[in-house]
Amino acid sequence: MQLFGLKACDTCRKALKQLPEAELVDVRADGVPEAILTAALAQFGDRLVNTRSTTWRGLSEAERAGEPLDLLKAHPALMKRPLIKSGDDLHLGWDAKTKAALGVEG
């Protein structure tokens, strides 16, 4: 299981604590493999881009209008976190639905 996120992200740390078998992939340092990014974009669409982040607020209108895949490649911290790859399944965020799908209580 891989958890794509940021070391400093509180939500990612909470998820890691409850998923001890997960490996953290820091998206700023290591990026997200294009195949996973493409699959996540196909599955989650615009929800994959975190439009409430400080990174998003720092972008110009022209940059915001760009293709989501290009934006996420150029600014990995724009991705909503965490993105969890468990086998062939992808999960976005750390909410009750994701926890239930991964068999985590709470």
The whole model's pTM is what?
0.91
Q: Which long-range contacts (CB under 8 A, 24 or more apart) does 41-49 make?
A: 41/68, 41/69, 41/72, 43/90, 43/92, 44/80, 44/90, 44/92, 47/80, 47/92, 48/72, 48/79, 48/80, 48/83, 48/92, 49/78, 49/79, 49/80
Q: Where are the domains of the chain?
A: 2-10+24-98
Please confirm, yes or no, whether 9 is among the known catalytic residues: yes
pLDDT of the chain, 106 residues: tens digit per residue = 999 999 999 999 999 999 999 999 999 999 999 999 999 999 999 999 999 999 999 999 999 999 999 999 999 999 999 999 999 999 999 999 999 999 998 6
CATH code of 2-10+24-98, in short, is: 3.40.30.10
Active-site annotation holder among 3, 4, 6, 9:
9
